Amino acid sequence: MKILLSADDIQRRVAEMARQIADDYRGQPVTIVGVLTGCLMFLADIVRHLDLPLRIALLQASSYRGEATAPGELRIQAERLPDLRGRHVLLLDDILDTGQTLAELRVYLRNLGVASLRVGVLLRKEGRQKTPVEVDYCGFDIPDAFVVGYGLDFNDEYRHLPYIAILNR
């Protein structure tokens, strides 16, 4: 597989993003809401750079099945979310592709009565967004290719790789 972003590239950028997030929140308590399963590595790495009063919560959103490249209906499983009313929430996802997932999650979280909502993604695919989603923090803009590693999977494989690679199909 062709490596698109090395482990060093990712670690450097994640640390930069964390600095920007810490500057923006200026010591305010933040609840990070990660989107499973792809956010695992990104979330785990970024929070270790964040010197803020922090809570971590997780939800699952799935629309992709295996190799599918077009989104289906989004299923949100949020049973394990704490009460987010009045909290400053930072939603973290692995990749912004068509935008459907983050657009729907944004509405979902706003309806829970959060005090503020920002969105951070590690990757944003160029030329793929169908639902416009403004993100507050973006690690890398990448070409339109199917990528795996650093949390991203193909049939639940490759998530453990410390780098991001283009999957050969």
- Residue 23: exposed, middle, or buried by beta-carbon count in 10 A (0-12, 13-18, 19+)? exposed
Q: Is 96 in the site for ligand XMP (CB under 6 A)?
A: yes
Q: For 16-115, where are the E strands, in sequence order? A: 30-36, 54-62, 75-77, 88-96
From the list 129, 84, 134, 137, the residue with the least C-alpha distance to 110 is: 84
Closer Cβ to ligand XMP, 23 or 156, answer by number: 156
Q: Is 95 in the site for ligand XMP (CB under 6 A)?
A: yes
State how far the Cα of 51 lies from the Cα of 46, in Å rounded to an integer. 10
Q: Is 94 in the site for ligand XMP (CB under 6 A)?
A: yes
**Helix (H, G, I), strand (E, B), or coil: what is residue 163?**
coil
Closer Cβ to ligand XMP, 87 or 125, answer by number: 125
Closer Cβ to ligand XMP, 22 or 136, answer by number: 136
Shortest distance, CB of residue 35 to ligand XMP, whole angstroms? 6
- The footprint of ligand XMP (CB under 6 A) covers 38, 63-64, 71, 93-101, 146-148, 152-153
Active site positions, annotated: 97
